[in-house]
Structure 1
């Protein structure tokens, strides 16, 4: 039997993913409050987390609002296991990639060379 918080998160997540039948939410209570562990199909992890974690953060914000209404503190942990091993996020930010990371990947790219040339032309402008 699932609780209102589990049903709430399940409803939101199932509308986001391509494989709603693989959405699973486990609930645990500890001294910090209620911990909801969300597991989805590996293909859908990106949809649930969103760009820069925006979707996951939005779900956590909505869950916090539900917690205010129910006098409870909720935490959401997104957990998934795929063929490469396990994946887990607890809402911590992902390390940002630097320009150098992208440059190393596409050092010989024509687009990279053209973009650098255009930027060099822009540097020469007197504005």
Structure 2
């Protein structure tokens, strides 16, 4: 989806509902070296990320939501969410065979985020 199409969808949802919440899982920090390597690897596989230019930071993700009609916006990278999991769950996840490269997992999680925006409901998203 292009940035324009995404903006139109965000504006439509914000203007169509009196009370609403929007949740999005998205790339973030794509301007740093690791993000650029991710983009290059995908391009080599002929998979361009449409709208990657809007994925610069957590702040830019929040601003995108606010500038398209939402009243509140928040964003956290997946590493922050992962750090809030119960220790028993973290231990279970980290015991899986494919997670032998913790540093790589941390880098990946710092490049994906969960964003949410609300409109009209003071208890939404808290």
Structure 2 length normalisation: TM-score? 0.27
More relative contact order in 1 or in 2 (CA 8 Å, sep 6+)?
2
Q: If each structure's strand is expressed as a fraction of its own residues, which one has the higher value?
A: 1
Structure 1 length normalisation: TM-score? 0.27
